[in-house]
Amino acid sequence: MSDHGDHPRLVGATEGSPSASAAVSPTAIAVSVRAHRAPAGATAERAATAMPTSGPLVDRYGRVHSDLRISLTDRCNLRCVYCMPEDMTFQPHEQLLSFDEIVTVARVGRELGVNSIRLTGGEPLVRRGVVDLVARLSTLGFDDIAMTTNATRLAALAKPLRAAGLSRVNISCDSLRAERFATIRRRGDLATVLHAMDVAEAVGLRPLKLNVVLLRGVNDDEILDFAAFARQTGRIVRFIEFMPLDAQGQWDRDRLVPGRDVIELISSRWPLRDVDGPTHLAPAERFAFADGRGEIGLISSVTEAFCGTCNRLRLTADGSIRNCLFSNEEHSVRAILRAGGGDEQIAMLLRRAVWAKFPGHAINEPQFLRPVRSMSMIGG
Ligand code: SAM
Ligand code: SF4
């Protein structure tokens, strides 16, 4: 594993003719993507200090939290095999936060230094009135309001969403082959999603990112196809490792495709340049094609945890604050809201939730227990 600093660097070397598609070999050679991202200020000294009651949302390890992921619903119109079963049970509507409640939490978060919001779910676009919610959130002064969506309903909503203040979208798309797309997502179709990408870009929801969950033996033979797609379209394709957050509990380490194998394969065809230094905050590790034609990303939550620079906080659709996807600890802001609590109480709950955050998840530790709530319930 090579050491590297903040400077861009080249990964891979050979230019050759592309194979139309190729699966990664489970025994692929390790390459020099970063092994982990160093925690900022994770010292015993800091851990011993008292929780601040003013200033930004900071945890015991000095990580300032400025990104809030808001799940609008646990419901979805698809049933992706890595996410939820056909007969998924959803929460009763009355348990979900109302838009007024969501806006209140977002406003308090903004006052505490949150500057970016991501709307997710479940599928955020199945929540009725989502455009109005975006319009309300956009008056609060966030730098960025993004959304992660399966895009089945995006084509019709892209323009009003953009007008309401949405900055950009990440679209989930796990295959570029129609039949396989339908098998993985169980419902929906590829053509609708590809069309939605065009519409989203046309109305200014840019840069457009694709989320691709790779499953070994299912779609890992499309890695080069996705890389070619990124080069042709300028869309940023992010390869996501399968995480132990599927509602069926069928996650298995052997089914995930490690990010470094992906980068090894792509860089053997098209040399890549590491875009960010080791201390950037985004979960995706970004790589640009060395010839300047596009960019890809890796979200290697399992094999290359990025906890050391995590700045994320989550609000579940039923009103709990979670400080980590992989933790079971939740802090109910709904209880405060529905008991008539005010901004100060909400602010203290946000502070406590952040302060309680562990230095990192323990997926790779023997004692790891998968979270009780799955990805679509938490808000991915
Ligand atoms: N429904 C929207 C969508 O699919 O884009 C937003 C919610 S979805 C839970 C958010 C992201 O989580 C998607 O990109 C999806 O592919 C990803 N995801 C879901 N289950 C996953 C799992 N077990 N491991 C890794 N990623 C997962
Ligand atoms: Fe729905 Fe998104 Fe889960 Fe697929 S990944 S089932 S689209 S919530």
Question: Residues 60-104: pLDDT tens digits?
Answer: 999 999 999 999 999 999 999 999 999 999 999 999 999 999 999
- Regarding predicted confidence, which is higher, 313 or 379? 313
Phi, psi of 280 (to 5 degrees): -70, 160
| 250: CB partners within 8 A, 6+ apart | none
Summarize pLDDT for 139-192 with one digit per residue, the tens: 999 999 999 999 999 999 999 999 999 999 999 999 999 999 999 999 989 999
- Whether the CB-CB separation of 196 and 154 falls below 8 Å is answered with yes
pLDDT at 312: 92
Omega into 92 within 30° of 0, i.e. cis? no
Ligand 2 centroid to residue 88 C-alpha, Å: 11
Does ligand 2 lie within 6 Å of residue 76's CB atom? yes
- Regarding predicted confidence, which is higher, 343 or 276? 343
pTM: 0.88
Q: Which helix (H) or strand (E) holds 67?
A: strand 67-71
Give the confidence band of 15 by pLDDT, cuts at 50, 70, 90: very low
For ligand 1, residues with CB inside 6 Å are 76, 82-83, 120-121, 123, 148-150, 172, 211, 213, 240, 242-243, 245-246, 375-376, 380
340 pLDDT higher than 70: yes
List, in order of start, the domains of the chain with CATH numbers: 10-20+57-378 (3.20.20.70)
Mean pLDDT in residue range 329-354: 96
Helix axes 154-164, 130-137, angle to 10 degrees: 20
Summarize pLDDT for 210-268 with one digit per residue, the tens: 999 999 999 999 999 999 999 999 999 999 999 988 888 888 889 999 999 999 999 99
- Regarding predicted confidence, which is higher, 302 or 26? 302
pLDDT at 370: 73
| DSSP labels, 43-61 | -HHHHTSPPPSSSS-B-TT
Triad 301, 302, 308: Cα angle to 5°: 55
pLDDT at 277: 66
